[in-house]
Structure 1
Amino acid sequence: MDEFEATVVQIADPTMLKHERLQIGWAQNSEKEWAIDAYYDVILALRERFDLADSDKTVHYGSSAGGFQAVCCAAKDRGSTAIVNNPQLDWSLYNERFVNALLRDVFNGSEIEEVRTRQPWRVNVIDLFEHVGYVPKTEVLLNIASAGDVEQQLKPILSRLEGFESLGKKPTFSFNLYHDVNMGHNPLGKPYTIQKINRELERLRSE
């Protein structure tokens, strides 16, 4: 962690501790408890206790399922920035095997449409933005050589963003597209990622 020019807080998804059969949890934790709420409480407590940077100098990072969680945290942590790599912006559109396993263990076998109806903000980041009335500044690094990320995430989210003027502001949501057949869904390399985050932190500190 010494490579980062800032204090780093890592939060592991408690969903996999609670449900040991799961490989991906998307911070869902339980039917009644969404782990993102707890993440935000932890961030606030650490900020206050250790006098850490305010939200406007904070970057939330994650890839894949971690990318979903990072965007959700940024939506809660108003003023902060999210940088995410090949995230699931709507986890219900990801690999059916992992989605069904989550529904089985976390939501007691509910169908995805039931979850979307009851708590859509826990499934899709656009629904979360509408729920909280806020769009966090977000940069999505997305590999267009990864068919799943393009078809299951990029295209559906773009179609939702087109009609997003309902919040009365231009979405601060950008896509940085790249093409790497060999990497596929895997995130960009560690050196590039660290450099990307450090540059954003430097920019935020200079404002």
Structure 2
Amino acid sequence: MAAVARQQNAPDPSRRNEQSRTAILTAAGELVAEIGFGKLTIEKIAARAGVGKQTIYRWWPSKGAVVFDSFLAANENASGSLALPDTGDLTEDLRTLLRGTVLELADPAFNRTGRALAAEVLTDPDLLREYRERLLDPLLEVTRDRLRAAREAGQLRADADLDLAVELLYGPLYYRWLHGLGSLDADYADQVAAALLSAFGTTGG
């Protein structure tokens, strides 16, 4: 009976690992916001999270990978799935999508971490692959799916190039965000949506 009691009271390793992982991701997100990506180190993340460096290296190959997972975790908590609005009204759905995007880009918490990751993926091929597979490609795919549905409904021209349409949706927003050109607000989001519909829309749509 004593052995059974000890076994029942033993800590759950999986729960302990999940607690450590959450602490690491939280620490990474907090530190990027406080000191920036350049001054961030694995040692500082470990100290803030209350874990050893080897615990971090067991799960992530670099500080960029840790920050990316922290970014994804925070983004999932804030926005949920990647599902796009589909009310049947393409104009309003595009406005909703792009207004949400500019709000996210203008968020100071997103801005600092997002810019750090944007710079890091340029020099880290492994991190770029992770970024493409886990964030960018899924986002582009659900956007193409939404535009494909609009094309099939006659709201976009039958010959509309969906890959180009997706780039025309997101490209102007990220260009302004990366280079600090002009304002990122609902009015600009609506202008981008209108430009896409002018390029690929139909009179009936």
**TM-score relative to the length of structure 2:** 0.28
The structure with more strand, counted as a fraction of residues? 1
